[in-house]
Amino acid sequence: MTQCDKSTAAKPQKLNRKAAENYGSENYGKLPLNKSQERTGVQRTRIIDINASRAGETVSIRARVHTSRVTGKIGFFVFRHQDSTIQGVLQVDEKVVSKGFVKFAANVPDESIVIIEGVVSKPNEEIKSTTVSDAELQIKKFYVVHETLGRLPFSLEDASRCEEEINKEDSQFSRVTLETRLNHRVVDLRTTANHGIFRIQSGVCQLFREFLLSKSFIEIHTPKIVGASSEGGANVFAIKYFKGSAYLAQSPQLYKQMCICSDFERVFEIAPVFRAEDSNTHRHMTEFVGLDLEMAFEEHYHEVLDILDELFVFIFDGLKTRFASEIETVKRQYPSTNFEYLPKTLRLDFKEAVQLLRDHERFLGKLIKEKYNTDFYIIDKFPLAVRPFYTMQDPYDKNYSNSYDFFMRGQEILSGAQRIHDPTLLEEHAKELGVDLRSIQPYVDSFKRGAPPHAGGGIGLERVVMLYLNLDDIRRCSLFPRDPKRLEP
């Protein structure tokens, strides 16, 4: 055979070998851009719903490629959907999975969105690195829906790593700082811990609303562009308003009370609150979500305090029973002790709390935890001088007031009080504190038409979540936080 004949004979063999390596090409590849071309009716399975009881079943999932590790003819993938992860195994066989299939899958960038079809199987050992520990997928089809472009700002594996692992002396892991996370928040929010945090945050709002509606409260929606400071202070954001000026609301306080004057009797709101405080701390933001309520009472403002007490116990009970898996998901990355509370919340007068501090010279929150075994408590009867102008004076001591704060792990999460509902007394107290009555005249006038005694409070949503989960920074509990140095993304 001539040299030319040998060359010609080699070509078909090479082509046949290449074809043999790429059989089943219809089982993998990039899908065309989805423009809603058709509806196939294919049912996808959620990762969270896959377990060992479904072994042998063929399922189809849509997920992100969390990590991939391919060696030769076998590849191991972790697929992620929201706060659930599962291992997928891709192995060359003689019918479906070719070498070309494995090579294609190996080159799909992390965080790409894919559709995977596979057979559920039981692993030989428990898989500890994924939330689905008793099952894995034997991959049969692998399609890319949308591929990640460019380099990721950080790996999701690094961003999901437990703080204790990173803090070890011999640790080789990279730390993803909070500032880096916030600069690339869309990627950061994909971590399973963050999905847990914001499901819990959603749960707090759900439980808050559920409880108050059961107690005959009405949900209201008050203006966030106002003509005067609602708290009588200087910590307001001024904005241009046509030819004049206005402010972003510090709270719905005045409008809640005006609704009480309109005989709504029990109202609540979940809405943004703006505070122009140049405080660069772990617990302050310039915009946060306020859970506010106001309620008319019959004889004593402690009727409202009782409702608030019930409300928080209802929320804490609900989080513990309805969101147990989300709490555990967060704890895997941010380990903490369980939040402890009493069926009937501990209440201390301000004078009692001060005396405790004098006797022990320690942080009040830690002292109360040790003495009463609770992370949640109420302090009542604050000095009048430290409360807003609309706060009712204590009837027995003019230096104190019918006001209260609620605390979680030693930090304040609710501030409230009985409000002054007598217009003359309201005007007198406002003048004493230097409040310009002309700026709040409609509010003052609302009490001249008759108003029932009432009280209420304002809760910081992000603080509740931060302290319940014992996180180190409130910005972890805000989707896109705003502080004195951050207006993006």
- Has residue 349 got a pLDDT over 70? yes
Collapsed DSSP state (helix, strand, coil) of residue 246: strand
Are residues 437 and 305 part of one domain?
yes
**Mean per-residue pLDDT, 273-286:** 90
User: Which phi and psi (to 5°) does residue 199 adopt?
Assistant: -70, -40
Exposure string for 442-481, b = 16+ CB within 10 A, e = fewer: ebbebbeeebebbbbbbbbbbbbbbbbbbbeebbbbbeeb
- Has residue 361 got a pLDDT over 80? no
Is 284 a member of any domain? yes
Chain CA centroid to CA 318, Å: 16
Are residues 211 and 120 part of one domain?
no
Is 30 a member of any domain? no
Whether the Cβ atoms of residue 373 and residue 338 lie closer than 8 Å to each other: no
The pLDDT of residue 362 is 66
Last residue of a domain, one of 81, 115, 146: 146
Instruction: Report the C-alpha gap between 110 and 147 in whole angstroms.
Output: 9
- Tokens representing 129? 């690195």
User: Which phi and psi (to 5°) does residue 402 adopt?
Assistant: -85, 65
Whether the Cβ atoms of residue 56 and residue 118 lie closer than 8 Å to each other: no
Which CATH number is 56's domain given? 2.40.50.140
The pLDDT > 70 percentage for the chain reads 93
- Has residue 454 got a pLDDT over 90? yes
Are residues 419 and 291 part of one domain?
yes
Are residues 216 and 109 part of one domain?
no
Are residues 235 and 103 part of one domain?
no
Closest CA to 108 of 54, 64, 140, 139: 64
Is 451 a member of any domain? yes
**Mean per-residue pLDDT, 340-351:** 94
Is 196 a member of any domain? yes
The pLDDT of residue 10 is 47
CB atoms within 10 A of CB 95: 9
Are residues 198 and 292 part of one domain?
yes
Is 18 a member of any domain? no
Is 289 a member of any domain? yes
Convert the pLDDT of each residue in 204-260 to its tens digit: 999 999 999 999 999 999 999 998 765 656 689 999 999 999 999 999 999 999 999
Is 243 a member of any domain? yes
Closest CA to 150 of 116, 181, 106, 112: 112
Are residues 308 and 179 part of one domain?
no
Convert the pLDDT of each residue in 420-450 to its tens digit: 999 999 999 989 888 888 888 999 999 999 9
User: What total of structural domains would you count in the chain?
Assistant: 3
Convert the pLDDT of each residue in 379-410 to its tens digit: 999 999 999 999 999 999 999 999 999 999 99
Closest CA to 424 of 414, 432, 416: 432
Instruction: Report the C-alpha gap between 167 and 171 in whole angstroms.
Output: 7
Query: What's the whole-model pTM score?
Result: 0.89
Q: Domain range holding 161?
A: 156-188
Residues designated as active site: 275, 277, 283-284, 412, 415, 463
- Tokens representing 286? 């310039």
Which DSSP state fits 392? P
Are residues 202 and 182 part of one domain?
no
Whether the Cβ atoms of residue 128 and residue 85 lie closer than 8 Å to each other: no
Convert the pLDDT of each residue in 39-74 to its tens digit: 988 899 999 999 999 999 999 999 999 999 999 899
Are residues 261 and 404 part of one domain?
yes
Is 4 a member of any domain? no
- Has residue 5 got a pLDDT over 90? no
Which CATH number is 331's domain given? 3.30.930.10
Convert the pLDDT of each residue in 7-41 to its tens digit: 444 455 554 555 556 788 899 999 999 999 999 88
- Tokens representing 20? 């043999």
272: β partners: 289
Give the DSSP letter string of 394-405.
PSS-TTBBSEEE
CB atoms within 10 A of CB 44: 14
Are residues 227 and 84 part of one domain?
no
Whether the Cβ atoms of residue 144 and residue 177 lie closer than 8 Å to each other: no
The radius of gyration of the chain from alpha carbons, rounded to an integer in Å, stands at: 30
User: Which phi and psi (to 5°) does residue 352 adopt?
Assistant: -65, -45
155-159, 359-363, 454-458: range with highest mean pLDDT: 454-458
- Tokens representing 197? 């945090």
Are residues 179 and 249 part of one domain?
no
Biggest alpha carbon distance in the chain? 117
In whole numbers, what is the pLDDT of the chain averaged over residues? 91
Are residues 205 and 319 part of one domain?
yes
Whether the Cβ atoms of residue 277 and residue 308 lie closer than 8 Å to each other: no
